[in-house]
Structure 1
């Protein structure tokens, strides 16, 4: 889970927490999906990080769950309250433990986000979506974005854009060369450069994922 493509970030206007926290590490992992990793590996002054080879024996297959999909998988305070109340009444230790930290989480949502009030406070289940995919990846309702695999790169140097996921939105013809030109710095148009990220864009039940999580935990 990491990054944001068409959604704003959650720790900066463009940066999602995981991509922002260690943008260089994220960018280096993304580069392993490229047929030529040296074309997207980020610049670094850290001598302990060796340069990537010109070619890899095998490209990394990376499935990305950005905020674009995880923000559509939510659990409301109302859903949680309805499920947890009878379990608390029955004296469930698990319910008491979960209720303690979830109560704090929903209060934080109310404090940070307008519109998240009372039972309408909505918690996005970012990491659980990834776990759910690992458990149900063969379900055909898991779908990639229309443009996957995508050349998604992470900015590691920007003062305001560190951790930003950058894609090429220009309407340009593709090229096959490996030489930069004055109209294409960074080899964005080259079919031999850039990353190849499989971006997840649909799941078996995003409308009801909160209830799925509750059932998995307590039933």
Structure 2
């Protein structure tokens, strides 16, 4: 049976690569039930345009592969059309929005524009708050739009499937998940695992010196059982680099056909632009390896391969998020002093920290992923899955 997943995301460059990795899985490996969108790198409407464009390109890509006698791939997508839902367009707290607009998939008024890979604007009405789809209107060929808010769709999927059968992969700010957990915490706990790309433990932040972009204030909500939370902080994700050489080697065979691969052409535009921008940021610094860190794809790769081993984690880490500090807002703080209170399994776990440290008794219990399979081999396997070619 395939593993059923919900992907909550803010695409974004590496988010798009993560989605491509998930949808390129075989139908025996994965079933993407829902893609829920949140603001993040960019506003949520731009995230939606990027996602719809990705589905448009995948439709062109599968036709191209069929015409050229290549394996069509993307068995996960062919077997099951995911639902797409639009979610949060702002943080829970006012004044907390920070955007990374330089990681747009499309860059208006710049060389990044790819109009031939951008669908017509007629798709926007499909996601309107008031349903506007006509009964005889044809739906998109490879996804299902919904008018329902993303957090309610997350709860619906969890409610309609058996307990411990759905993994949530959270690749952006956690607002949709927070809204779902606040509205119906017991349904939210039906998730088998929540895999979060976010936080930084022993490495600098990427928005402030100590804070990571996706980290938000947890909800102080008492729950009846443990949330199975696996954290992929920058400590592990930063090291998985997509270099210019590896990317070029992966897509080169697909660009050499008389009619080039739509997927290779499309991703070449924004991946090359992003790597070039990263090189500008670090110009003059002595850094051996410069590339695009595959933060979000690593979470998807973990879900695809965790049964095969090679992953190492620190269990039951007591991780809290600083929410009030002037210079430390968003900082992950880990209690490394050891257990001071023996766990009482009958006692509810409080997800949050309001007041003194020991307010939570024995604290949060987070699984921090610290090591995965060989880095170069992992990146190469990701590229092979997405493009059907060997990556170095």
TM-score interval, smaller chain: 0.7 to 0.9
1:119-138, aligned counterparts within 5 Å?
120-138=289-307
**Bigger mean CA offset, 124-133 vs 106-115:** 106-115
Deviation at residue 89 of structure 1 after TM alignment: 2.2
Partners of 1:116 and 1:105 lie apart in 2 by 18
Q: 1:12 aligns with which of 208, 211, 234?
A: 208
Q: Following the alignment from structure 1 to structure 2, what is the Cα–Cα distance between the partners of residues 3 and 136? A: 22
Runs of 4 or more off by more than 3 Å in structure 1? 114-117
SS of alignment partner, residue 317 of structure 2: coil
Rounded Cα–Cα distance in structure 1 between residues aligned with 2:297 and 2:281: 22
Cα deviations across residues 89-128 of structure 1 (Å, max 9, x unaligned)? 22111110010111111111112224689x9531110000
Q: State which of 226, 237, 246 in structure 2 corresponds to 1:79.
A: 246
Q: How does 1:1-219 map to 2 (within 5 A)?
A: 1-19=197-215, 23-24=216-217, 27-28=218-219, 41=220, 52-53=221-222, 56-90=223-257, 91-114=260-283, 120-145=289-314, 148-170=315-337, 174-176=340-342, 185-187=356-358, 192-219=361-388
Partners of 2:336 and 2:366 lie apart in 1 by 16
Cα deviation code 1:169-217 (max 9, x no counterpart): 45x772459xxxxxx94118x8x33100001111123232221121011
Cα distance in 1 for residues equivalent to 2:339 and 2:232: 28
List alignment gaps of at least 5 residues for structure 2.
Answer: 1-196, 344-354
Contact 1:152 1:197 in 2 (8 A): yes
Aligned counterparts of 1:115 and 1:132: Cα–Cα separation in 2: 33
Out of 208-217 and 81-90, give the one that drifted further: 81-90
Verify the 8 A CA contact 2:243 2:290 in the aligned structure 1. yes
Contact 1:116 1:122 in 2 (8 A): no
Distance change in 2, residues 1:120/1:64 (3 Å): closer
1:144/1:198 contact within 8 Å kept: yes
Q: Deviations over 1:1-44 (max 9, x none)?
A: 0000001001111111101xxx22xx23xxxxxxxxxxxx3xxx
What are the superposed Cα offsets for residues 148-178 of structure 1, whole Å, 9 maximum, x if unpaired?
21000111111111111001245x772459x
**1:157 aligned counterpart, secondary structure:** coil
TM-score of the two chains, using structure 2 as the length reference: 0.42
Kindly tell me the number of residue pairs found equivalent between the two proteins. 179
Structure having the higher strand fraction is: 2
The 3-state SS of whatever aligns with 2:246 is: helix
Gaps of 5+ in 1: 29-40, 42-51, 178-183
- Find the aligned partners of 1:120 and 1:174 in 2 and give their Cα distance: 42
